[in-house]
Structure 1
Amino acid sequence: MPADFEKQSYWRERFKSETSFEWLASSESFMTLIAPHLSEISRRETQPKILHLGSGTSDLQNHFRANGYLDVTNVDYEPLAIERGRQLEEATFGEVRLKYVVADVTQLGSGLRSDQRFDIVIDKSTVDAVSCGGTTTILRMASGIRKYLAEGGIWISLSYSSTRFDVEDLPFDVEVIAKILTPKLKESEPEVYHHCYLLRPK
C-alpha cells in the first residue's frame, strides 16, 4: 500500500525518529537550479523574500542561509518538522535566524499573515505529497501560493511527475526548467526523470 503522504499523522510518526532526509535531489543540487532565479530577484530586491513549503527534515534552509539569503520562511504543518529545521540551522550556524512557521500548505492563511508577500516560493516534492489528496488539494495549495506571491513572484517546484501540473483551472502558467535523471539500479532499466517546474501567475 502507498504511504499516506497527504495525512499529518503519517508525518508526525515519521518525524519522531527522522532527523534528516532529502526528497528527489540533494539541497545542493536543487540550489543550482534555483540559484539563477534567486540572483535575478536579488538584482531587484535587497533581500529576496523566500517561502519554503513543506520544509520537513531537509537542510535546504541551511543552503539558503549559507548563500546569504536570510529572509526565509520555512513552513510545515508538523511541529516536529519545524523543530528539526531549527535544530539543523542551529547545529550549522550556532543560532537560528530564519523563520519557521507551523501551517498547512493547502491553507497558508492558517500560519501566515494576510499581508505577507514572497518573491519566490519553493517546494521540493511537497506538491507530490499534497497530490495524494487529489486535484482539489493541489488547487488549494496553488491558490494559497498565488495569494502570497509578490508582484513578479514565481513558484519553483520539484516533482517526480511529468504531469504534476496538468490540472484544470490552475492559476499559473507552467514550464519545465530542468529534468533530473534518476540513478538506475540496472542498465536495462528505462530512463526516469524528476521535473523542476517554474510557475508564474496567470
Structure 2
Amino acid sequence: MPADFEKQSYWHERFSSETSFEWLASSQSFMSIIEPYLSTFSHTVENTPRILHLGSGTSDLQNCFRSRGYLDVTNVDYEPLAIERGRQLEQVAFDDVRMKYIVADVTQLACDFLQDQKFDIVVDKSTVDAVSCGGTAAFSRMASWVKKYLADSGIWISLSYSSVRFNIEQLPFDVEVIAKTPTPKLKESDPEIYYYCYLLRPK
C-alpha cells in the first residue's frame, strides 16, 4: 500500500526518528536550478529576496539558501518535529538561527504570521506530490495560497516526480518545465524516468 503522505500522522511518526532526508534530488542540485531565478531579484545585505519554503521536512535546503547569503527565508511544515529539525540543522551549521520557521498546513496557510507577507519566490521539493495524495481539492487549495502570498512578479518553483503534476483545471498559474532530471538506473535496460522542475507564474 502507498504511504499516507497527505496525513500529518504519517509525518509525525516518520520524523520521530528521521533526522535528514532529501526528496528526489539533493538540495545542492535543486539550488543550481533555483539560483538563476533568485538572482533576478534584489540581493544586497539590506535587500534580499523573500523566500517561502513549503514542506521543509528534514531537508537541508534552508541551509543552502543561508550559505549563499539568502537570509529572508520562511520555512513551513505542518509537523512540529520537522520545524524543530530545521532549526537544529541551521544552529549546527551556523551557530545561530536567523531564518524563520512556522508550523502550518500548506493547504490552509491562513496563519497570523503570514497574513501581510509577500514573497518573491516560493519553493517546494516534492511537497506538491505529498499534497496531491490528498486529491485535487487539497492541491488546488495549496496553489491558491501560494498565489495569495506571491509578490508582484513573484514565482513558484516546484520539484515533482510527475510529468503531469500541474495539469489541473483552473490552475491560477502559467506553467513551464525548467529542468528534467533523469533518475538513477539500477540496470542499463531500465526505462528512462525523470524528475521535473516547474516554474509557475500567476495568471
**Superposed pair shares fold, TM > 0.5:** yes
| Alignment partner, residue 64 of structure 1 | 65
**Is the aligned partner of 1:189 residue 2:190?**
yes
1:1-202 map, 5 Å:
1-42=1-42, 46-110=47-111, 112-202=113-203
C-alpha displacement of 1:144: 0.2
| Aligned partner of residue 158 in structure 1, secondary structure | strand
Give the conservation status (yes or no) of the 8 Å contact 2:122–2:156.
yes
CA shift for structure 1 position 130 = 0.1
**Alignment RMSD, CA only?**
1.2
Shift of 1:86: 0.3
SS of alignment partner, residue 39 of structure 2? helix
Report the Cα distance in structure 2 between the residues aligned to 1:171 and 1:130, rounded to whole angstroms: 17
**One-letter amino acid of the structure 2 residue matched with residue 59 of structure 1:** D
Per-residue deviation, residues 117-148 of structure 1 (Å, max 9, x unmatched): 00000000000000000100110000000000
Deviation at residue 114 of structure 1 after TM alignment: 1.5
Q: Percent identity between the aligned chains?
A: 75
Q: Aligned equivalents of 1:7 and 1:113: distance in 2? A: 23
Q: Is the 8 A contact 1:102 1:111 kept in 2?
A: no
Distance 2:141 2:158 in 1: 15
**Corresponding letter in the other structure for 2:25:** A
> Which structure 1 residue ranges, 5 or more long, are not aligned?
none
* C-alpha displacement of 1:110: 2.8
Distance in 2 of aligned mates of 1:109 and 1:58: 24
Question: For residues 113 and 58 of structure 1, what CA distance do their matches in structure 2 show?
Answer: 22
Does the aligned pair in 2 maintain the 1:55–1:75 contact within 8 Å?
Answer: yes
8 Å CA contact 2:43–2:49 kept in 1: the answer is no
TM-score, normalised to structure 1, is 0.98
> One-letter code of the match for 1:21?
F
What is the alpha-carbon distance in structure 2 between the residues aligned to residue 147 and residue 26 of structure 1? 28
Alpha-carbon offset, residue 112 of structure 1: 3.6
Cα pair 1:18 1:57 within 8 Å, conserved: yes
Q: Deviations over 1:46-67 (max 9, x none)?
A: 2100000000000000000000
Cα offset for 1:43?
Answer: 5.9
